[in-house]
Amino acid sequence: MVQPTAAVIASHGLKKPEVFTREDFGKLVVKAHKECGVKVVETACFLEPHASGLLHHNCLVRADAQYRWKATAEKLFQKYKVSVSFGSNVRTWQEGVVYGCVGSEHKRPEMLDKSPLQWVASGTPVPLEEHIPRHMRQQGYVRKVKLTPLAFLDLCREHDVTTEADAWALAAELEEKGDKGLMAFLLENDVAAAVGKANKARGAKETARRAKLTRMQVLEEFSRDASCSCSQPGLCYDLMKDTLQKNGMDGWFQKEVCDTLEAGRLKERNLCLLGGTNTGKSYLLKPLALVYRTYTRPDGGTHQLEELLGKELVFLNDFEYDEDAKKWCNWGYLKNFLEGGKLTVSRPKNKGSNQDFTSDAPVFMTAPQEVTLWRGKRVDDYETEQMRSRIKYRKLTHTFAKEERKEAPPCGHCGARVYLEGRSTATPVTEAASSSADAAAPAPRTPPKRKTGQEMVQALKDLKDLKDACVLDTPELQRLKAKVLSGD
């Protein structure tokens, strides 16, 4: 029974170890086992200082038959408000006695409980010393033990270790207090891989829960449950709306985002905002990375796609298909990826075999210009047009002057509020539209006046200008062009 954090105590009303004596805690453990149908025949209770200096209970339990401990842990937690974990490194009574009575690099001799309490269901308990191997009974003896992966996971949970830097900092802190177990573990293992596995284990339950939700449900949940992180409440929301309004994008931008979230990674559904410096294109999309588990392209490395696995959304910021991008992903693979195809992700040999990314995670991008394939100094028009059919471009035209700019970090809550304005809703029925059946009846259609040749040329020129401004995408352009040429 370790020391619960203040937040956990507040949310679950848990008890602290200091409210129990060794005898009280031992009796509670026996009682909880009995209520779960497990007959305990012997216990040994140790009261030990943790690395933090605070005391915690360590109770060694022997039952008359092998059993699964989860039910007992849940009983202690739900009924008695006591949170416990079980030691995977102890498999026999002797191993448990050695762990509690013999010092190690992880638990120095001075940290041992000098007065553990023994209890047996019947008869007299065998002194703990008789279970300790003779060579370990010497005063000051220190066992050399290795930290197990599960013990490392427990440390990550207890100290909120999520990065390599966190792990090394904790190892240094514990080593100063005499506990070298974590430092030895990090020196002998791939720290990045170990922390990555621990993060995956810690987040497995939440990952499974989110997998059952649609992306729009995740967005709605975030808007409802998260809080605004702005220095002034709603500042990010106001800045995003101001950017959209000055670019004439307020309303349809939100709908484009929601459409992309709902459709996922498909042709004409990958949204890319075009614009120069200080147009706010990145600011409009960055809150997505705070709502979803997002892949962003790393600066370099040999396995740049590895972090793509397990992600819910892809955000390619300031993307250009330059030499670095070619090393990141082959043009042909990128086209296939953007139309919803699988992408093979290479991984380091120590992390297992390569894997296929098959999720429909939506793709959002920002770029200074359309994604273009260059062959030397010449643009490959055919391939660039192919990419155009996969990406929906929208252009920002308003550049914020220096005196207009306001620096504020993106806020996931504000961003979610903005995006949710694009949710599909039924078109409201206006008073004029519902006033009478006669008013709703279609008027006789007047044949359209056919355009002159000069008018058709001007119409085609106007369509080209709209395409260049990224107001129209390629399919829309082709459809309208055909309509103009037909004389409509």
Residues 7-46 have pLDDT tens digits of 888 888 999 999 999 999 999 999 999 999 999 999 999 9
407: in domain: yes
Say yes or no: 347 and 223 in one domain.
yes
Say yes or no: 371 and 460 in one domain.
no
Sign of the torsion angle spanned by Cα atoms 252, 257, 262, 268:
positive
Task: Report pTM.
Answer: 0.61
For residue 453, the model assigns a pLDDT of 64
Confidence of residue 270 (pLDDT cuts 50, 70, 90): very high
pLDDT in tens, 164-200: 999 999 999 988 877 788 998 999 998 988 998 999 8
pLDDT in tens, 111-164: 889 999 999 999 999 999 999 998 888 887 888 777 888 889 988 988 999 999
Mean pLDDT of the chain: 86
The residue with greater pLDDT, 244 or 445, is 244
For residue 433, the model assigns a pLDDT of 34
Q: Which of 215, 221, 218, 258 is nearest to 420 (CA)?
A: 258
How many C-beta neighbours within 10 Å does residue 116 have? 21
**Which bin fits 98, alpha (ψ -120 to 50), beta or left (φ > 0)?**
alpha
Domains contained in the chain, number: 4
Q: Tell whether the model's pLDDT for residue 448 goes beyond 50.
A: no
* The Cα angle at residue 317 between residues 312 and 319, in degrees rounded to 5: 115
431: in domain: no
Confidence of residue 279 (pLDDT cuts 50, 70, 90): very high
Q: Which of 261, 33, 9, 56 is nearest to 154 (CA)?
A: 56
For residue 22, the model assigns a pLDDT of 95
443: in domain: no
Could you say which of 197, 212, 227 is where a domain stops? Answer: 212
For residue 304, the model assigns a pLDDT of 86
Say yes or no: 57 and 72 in one domain.
yes
Which tokens go with 278? 């200080």
* The Cα angle at residue 235 between residues 234 and 237, in degrees rounded to 5: 65
CA distance 393 to 275: 10
CB 394, CB 256: distance < 8 Å? yes
Say yes or no: 48 and 60 in one domain.
yes
Q: Which domain holds residue 395?
A: 214-422
Say yes or no: 138 and 156 in one domain.
no
391: in domain: yes
Say yes or no: 288 and 383 in one domain.
yes
Following DSSP, what letter does each residue of 382-397 receive, concatenated? HHHHHHHTTEEEEE--
Q: Which of 15, 163, 160 is nearest to 83 (CA)?
A: 15
Say yes or no: 242 and 195 in one domain.
no
For residue 468, the model assigns a pLDDT of 63
444: in domain: no
Q: How large is the average pLDDT for residues 320-348?
A: 91
Say yes or no: 277 and 196 in one domain.
no
Confidence of residue 452 (pLDDT cuts 50, 70, 90): low
For residue 436, the model assigns a pLDDT of 35
Q: Tell whether the model's pLDDT for residue 306 goes beyond 70.
A: yes
CB 16, CB 9: distance < 8 Å? yes
Say yes or no: 398 and 300 in one domain.
yes
Say yes or no: 408 and 483 in one domain.
no
439: in domain: no
Which tokens go with 240? 């995003």
pLDDT in tens, 389-441: 999 999 999 999 888 888 889 999 999 999 999 986 433 333 333 333 343 34
Confidence of residue 77 (pLDDT cuts 50, 70, 90): very high
427: in domain: no
Q: How large is the average pLDDT for residues 214-236?
A: 94
For residue 333, the model assigns a pLDDT of 93
18: in domain: yes
Which stretch of DSSP H or E encloses residue 83? none
Could you say which of 366, 387, 422 is where a domain stops? Answer: 422
Q: Which of 436, 96, 420 is nearest to 255 (CA)?
A: 420
Instruction: List phi, psi (to 5°) of 360.
Output: -90, 25
Say yes or no: 204 and 220 in one domain.
no
Say yes or no: 188 and 49 in one domain.
no
Taking CA atoms, 94 is separated from 100, 131, 133, 231, in Å, by: 10, 6, 9, 57
**Which bin fits 248, alpha (ψ -120 to 50), beta or left (φ > 0)?**
left
Could you say which of 376, 405, 422 is where a domain stops? Answer: 422
